[in-house]
Amino acid sequence: MRRFAFALALLSATIVDAEEPQAWSFAVSAYGYDVPDSEDFVNPGVTADRGRLHLEARYNYEALDTASVWGGANFSTGEKWLFDSTVMLGAVFGDFDGVAPGFRLSLTRSWFELTSEGEYYFDFHDHEENYLYSWTEIGGYPTEWFRAGVALQRTRAYASDVEVERGVFVGFTYKSFDAAAYVYDPAGDPFYVLGLSYEF
């Protein structure tokens, strides 16, 4: 963990341009899971960004009672089609211990938006525990404050009968607040996720 902390400090010094200081931006989020035949849980997270620098901490994401800390770099390009991405490296500890390269990306144009995040977890103790996590949303904005679409996720935070879970979502935005409700496997044995976030 000390080596990872040193790497984060080195990353910060490399990515942030001292001659052009930029303001920090922060976000906090929490996703509550109501899953049949499994323990309900909350997945909180916090991010901090300054220019290209991205820092992040998560809990209950890779697995229950497991935390992860991340450092990475932000990139953005495009005019009509806007593409934003973040490449990251994370340290995972708790019930699972390992490292994970990860990413976040979004592609938007007018009312359309595709967002995705993922990571590949490498376990320190057992390579059979290695796992690909992902969360993807494809949706549209009929108005600035409302969106709807489909969502896909692959996780090991709880037991699932399928590799990739499929669902639908609706989301609402008011100033710096965002709320989204998800229903996965709506035609079968549905379960629900509620996400709340605030940026400042």
Q: Which residues contact 195 (CB under 8 A, 6 or more apart)?
A: 29, 30, 31, 32, 178, 179, 180, 181, 182
How many of the other CB atoms lie within 10 Å of CB of 191? 21
How far is it, in rounded angstroms, from Cα 113 to Cα 138? 6
Local confidence pLDDT in tens for the 200 residues of the chain? 555 545 555 455 455 544 456 899 999 999 999 998 889 999 999 999 999 999 999 999 999 999 999 999 999 999 999 999 999 999 999 999 999 999 999 999 999 999 999 999 999 999 999 999 999 999 999 999 999 999 999 999 888 888 999 999 999 999 999 999 999 999 988 999 999 999 99
What residue ranges do the domains of the chain occupy? Answer: 2-199
Q: What is the pTM of this model?
A: 0.87
What would be the CATH architecture of the domain defined by 2-199? Beta Barrel (2.40)
How far is it, in rounded angstroms, from Cα 78 to Cα 107? 9
